[in-house]
Amino acid sequence: MNNRERSLSGEAVRLEGIVKRFSGVTANAGIDLSLNYGEVHGLLGENGAGKTVLMSVLYGLYRPTEGQIYLKDRPVAISSPAVAIRAGIGMVHQHFMLVPRLTVADNMVVGWETLWGPFLDRSRIRRRIGELSEQYGLEVDPSARVEELSVGEQQRVEIVKALYRGAEVLILDEPTATLPEQEVESFFATIRALRDEGKAVVFITHKLREALTICDRVTVLRKGEKVGTVPASQATESQLAEMMVGREVVFEVQRERVASEGQPLLRVEGLTAVDDRGVPAVQEVGFTVHDHEIVGVAGVQGNGQSELVEAICGLSRLRQGQVMVDGEDLSGAPPRKMAQAGLVHIPEDRHRRGLILDFSVGENSILGRQYESPFAIGQVGQSKRAIAGYARELVERFNIVVPGVRTPARALSGGNQQRVILARELDRKPKVIVAAQPTRGLDVAGIEFVWEQLLAMRREGAAILLVSMDLDELLTLADRLVVMYQGKLVGERKPGETDKQEIGLLMLGGAVETA
Amino acid sequence: MDVLSLDIMVAALRLAMPIALVALGETFSERSGIINIGVEGTALAGALIGATVAFFSGSSVVGLCAALGVGMLLGLIHAVWCVYLRADHVVTGAAINLLVIGLALFLTRVVWGWRGTSAAVPTLNPWILVWGMVGLIVLAQVYLFRTPWGLRLRVVGEHPQAADTAGINVFRTRVAYSVLNGALCGLAGAFLVNNLGRFSVGMVGGRGFIGIAAMVVGNYRPIPAFLAAYLFGFVDALQMRLQDVIPSHFSIMLPYVLTVVVLAGFLGRAHVPAALGKPYIKDQG
C-alpha cells in the first residue's frame, strides 16, 4: 500500500519534444508537457491546435514523428492503445467508444476481461464495477444497455471503463462538449474526486471558464505549438484567451439597441410535432419573433427543440398548428417554399443536414438554390463557372479558410464548415433565421464569427430564432428567452431581468410559471 | 405416406448441414464486419477441391482437409481485399462466385474429361460430420456470448474504433474470422460431395445464399441460425417425398420459395452489425 502511495505522487508523464506530422501537415511541433499525479492539467487550445493529437500520441493511437515519452521518469514507446492501457493510461474520447447494443459491463471490460476459465466472469465484473462506482461516486448500472443511457451516464461509463483498466493517468477529451449544463457541476466533482485519489487527469477543452474552474495547471497550445503552462490560480480568462488565439479577444459583443418595428415575421401557433419514433415531442407551442429581434430557446437537450425546429422549417410533418412567415401561412410547406418565403435554417447537425461532406465547397454553397439561375441552365444543366464564381465571392466575403472552392467540405475544419453554411443561408437575405445550436463545437474565433453574423442580421431587420444549449450564449445574444421543457414552453424571460439560476430551474421544469 | 416421421426429421438434419455451416461461418464473418456473398462459390470450391483430392489420394479425410484449406484460402483472399484494399465486399464476393464456377468447369474437364462432373469419389460416414456440426453450433453460441474472444468479435463488428481504443487489433480480427468463414464453407462443400459421392458443378445450388438467409433469420446467432437452416433442410427433405405427389418441377422450388417468404418477414427485423461492410480506416500513426 505504501509503495502504491509513493508511486502516485510526483511526475506521472513527461512528454519531450513531441512532433507529429500527417503527410506534410504538422499537428504537433515539438511539445513538452509534464503531468503530475494528483493534478488536473488543462490542455487548452482552439480547434485544430493539436490537443487531441498530442493526447492520442500519449494513448498510443498515433506514433510520434519525433520526441520521447517518459512514464515515471522511464522512457517508453507507446505503440498501441493496448500498451497505453497496460501502462496505466486511460482516455475518454470526445465521441464515446461504446457499443450501444451491449451492456455497460461488456463495454467496460472488452479487451481487458476478467475471466473464469475461458469464460467471462460476469458476476465478478459486476462486483468490481460496483466497487469502483462507489469509490468515485460514479453511479452506473452494469447490466443496462448503453443505448438506454443519457450522454452524462455514458460519460460515467467511459470513466469507469478507464478506471477498470487501472488507469492512473486519465485523459478527458472535451468532456463537457456534449454534457448538459446541469450535469457539468457534478461532473467536476467527479474529476476532483479522481484528483484527490492521486490520479493525473488531463482535461482537454477550449472553454476558458471551465479550464479555470477545474484545473490546477493549464497548458495552452496554438497551431501545434505550446504557448506556455500557467497555474490556473494565477491566470485570467482574457490572458488565456490571448494565449490561445494569439491576439486580444473581445468577449463583450456589441449588441446595439435596435428598435423593433413590432412586425411579427415568424409566428408559430399551437404547433405539435412528433419525434422519429412517433412519440409527441412538441405540444401546443406558440410564440412570435419580430423584426430586429433574437428570441432564444433554452432547454436541456432532448426536450423537443430539434423537433420544433424541424417542424417550423418544413423538415418534418406538422401534426398540428400554424407557421406564419411574414404574414403568409406556410404551415407544412416544404423547405424550398420556406426558403423562398424568406425563412432559412442553420441546422444543428452540420454534417448531416448542413452540408454534403463529399461535395465541394462550391456545390455546398448553392445547396437549396441549385435550381436557380445562374447556377442552373435550363432543367438539367449546371453552370460550374457560375457556381465557382459565387462560391469564391462567399469565401472572400465571409473569410472562409479553404484551399479552393473545389475542396470537399469534409476537408474543412468545423469552424469553416459552419462559415460555409452561414454564408450560404445568410446571403439569401432572409427575413427569418432559425439557428439551431449554431456555435456547437466551435472555437473562440468561430463563435465570435457566428455571433457577429447573427447580430448583423438582426441589425438589418431579420427575425432570429436561436436554439442553444449554451445559456451564456442565449443571455448574450437574445432579446427574449423562452424555455422548453418536455415539449412545452414553460416560461419567457428577458435576459436583463433573469439569471442562469432561474433559467436553469425552468429548464428542469422546477419553477412555477409566473405570468 | 407418413410425412412427419422421425426418418424425415433425421434426413433433414443431413440436408440442413451445409446450409447451417455456411450460416455459422457467415455469422462469424459478418459479426466482425465483413459481408461475404462468396460463400456460395467458396462452398463450391470446397466441393471441387475436396472431390479432386479425394479422388487422387483415395482418402475422404485428405479430401476434407483440402476442402478446408481451399475455403480458408478464399476467405483469406476475400479478407485481404476487403480489409486492406478496402474493396467492396459484395463485388469481391461475387468475383469469388464467378471464379470458382469457371475453375470447376475447367478442372472437371481436365481431370475427368466431363463438363462439370467428376467420377465417383471415396466418402465417409456422414453422421460423424453431422453430429460434430451440431456440437460445433452449440460451442459457437457459447463462444460468441460467453467468452472474451466472442465479445471482442462483436465489438469489432459494431464499433471498430471502440475496439481499437480498447487495444484490439481490428484488421487481424476481421481476417481471422473471414478465414474461419472460408473454412466452414469449404467444409460445407466437402459434405455435399460426401452426400452425393461425386462432384457436380450445380451441387451447391444456392445453399450458400440460403445459408446467408438462415443467418439473417437467426439474427446473427449460431443456434437460431442453425434452427433456420434446419427448417430449410426439412422443407428440402419434404419436397423429395412430395415428388410422387406433385410434379418435381414445382416441389424442387419449395426451399427457395420458403427462403423468399421467410426472408421477407425477417429482413429488417434482424440487427445488422453497425459496421458491416464498412472498411475500418485507421488514422496514419
Structural domain contains residue A140? yes
* pLDDT score of A255: 67
- Put simply, the answer to whether A85 touches B166 (Cβ < 8 Å) is yes
What does the angle CA A401 – CA A407 – CA A410 come to, to the nearest 5 degrees? Answer: 85
Structural domain contains residue B45? yes
C-alpha cell, A373: 439561375
| Residue A75 shares a structural domain with residue A175 | yes
3-state secondary structure of A210: helix
Structural domain contains residue B210? yes
Q: Mean pLDDT throughout B216-237?
A: 93
Task: Taking the CA atoms of B168, B171, B174 and B175 in sequence, report the sign of the dihedral they define.
Answer: negative
* pLDDT score of B283: 64
| Last residue of one domain, picked from the residues A166, A192, A209 | A166
Structural domain contains residue B202? yes
Strands A264-274 and A280-290: antiparallel
Shortest alpha-carbon distance between residue A347 and chain B (Å): 25
Q: Which residue of A has its CA nearest to B160?
A: A97
- Put simply, the answer to whether B147 touches A23 (Cβ < 8 Å) is no
Q: Mean pLDDT throughout B157-180?
A: 96
Shortest alpha-carbon distance between residue A470 and chain B (Å): 29
Number of domains in chain B: 1
| Residue A181 shares a structural domain with residue A239 | yes
Structural domain contains residue A348? no
| Residue A440 shares a structural domain with residue A508 | yes
Any chain B CB within 8 A of the CB of A234? no
- Put simply, the answer to whether B155 touches A63 (Cβ < 8 Å) is no
| Residue A15 shares a structural domain with residue A32 | yes
| Last residue of one domain, picked from the residues A245, A279, A314 | A245
C-alpha to C-alpha distance for B67 and A67, rounded to whole angstroms: 51
pLDDT digits (tens, 9 = 90+) for A397-444: 998 888 888 988 988 888 889 999 999 999 999 999 999 999 988 888
Shortest alpha-carbon distance between residue B42 and chain A (Å): 31
Question: A255-269, A338-352, B19-33 — which one is most confidently predicted on average?
Answer: B19-33
Any chain B CB within 8 A of the CB of A19? no
ipTM score of the complex?
0.89
C-alpha to C-alpha distance for A12 and A35, rounded to whole angstroms: 6
C-alpha to C-alpha distance for B221 and B214, rounded to whole angstroms: 10
Query: Judging by beta carbons within 10 Å of its beta carbon (0-12, 13-18, 19+), is residue A364 exposed, middle or buried?
Result: buried
| Residue A71 shares a structural domain with residue A182 | yes
pLDDT digits (tens, 9 = 90+) for B46-63: 999 999 999 999 999 999
- Tell me which chain B residues have a C-beta less than 8 angstroms from the C-beta of A106: 151
Q: Which of A367, A429, A419 is nearest to A394 (CA)?
A: A419
| Residue A412 shares a structural domain with residue A361 | yes
| Residue A435 shares a structural domain with residue A511 | yes
Q: Tell whether the model's pLDDT for residue A110 goes beyond 90.
A: yes
Identify which of B151, B274, B283 has the shortest CB distance to residue A106: B151
Q: Mean pLDDT throughout A288-315?
A: 91
Interface test with A, best of B32, B152, B155, B165 (most A CBs within 10 A): B165
| Residue A203 shares a structural domain with residue A316 | no
- Put simply, the answer to whether B147 touches A110 (Cβ < 8 Å) is no
Residue A515 burial (CB count, 10 A): 4
DSSP state for residue A153 in the 8-state scheme: H
Helix/strand/coil (H/E/C) assignment for every residue in B265-284: HHCCCCCCCCCCCCCCCCCC
Structural domain contains residue A349? no
| Residue A299 shares a structural domain with residue A444 | yes
Structural domain contains residue A262? yes
Number of domains in chain A: 4
> Domain range for residue B223?
6-266
* pLDDT score of B4: 64
pLDDT digits (tens, 9 = 90+) for B95-141: 999 999 999 999 999 999 988 899 999 999 888 889 999 999 999 99
Q: Tell whether the model's pLDDT for residue A2 goes beyond 60.
A: no
> Domain range for residue A26?
3-88+168-245
Q: Tell whether the model's pLDDT for residue A1 goes beyond 50.
A: no
Structural domain contains residue B274? no
Structural domain contains residue A303? yes
| Residue A286 shares a structural domain with residue A332 | yes
| Last residue of one domain, picked from the residues A199, A225, A245 | A245
| Residue A172 shares a structural domain with residue A84 | yes
State the alpha helices, DSSP H only, in B113-267: 126-146, 148-158, 160-165, 170-196, 207-217, 222-242, 248-251, 254-266
* pLDDT score of A253: 63
Shortest alpha-carbon distance between residue A286 and chain B (Å): 38
Identify which of A22, A63, A99 has the shortest CB distance to residue B162: A99
Structural domain contains residue A250? no
* pLDDT score of A206: 83
CATH of the domain at B154: 1.10.3470
Structural domain contains residue A233? yes
Q: Tell whether the model's pLDDT for residue A5 goes beyond 60.
A: no
Query: Which residues lie closer than 8 Å to A158 by C-beta, 6 or more apart?
Result: A92, A93, A96, A97, A98
Identify which of B155, B159, B285 has the shortest CB distance to residue A63: B285
Of chain B, the percentage scoring pLDDT greater than 70 comes to 98
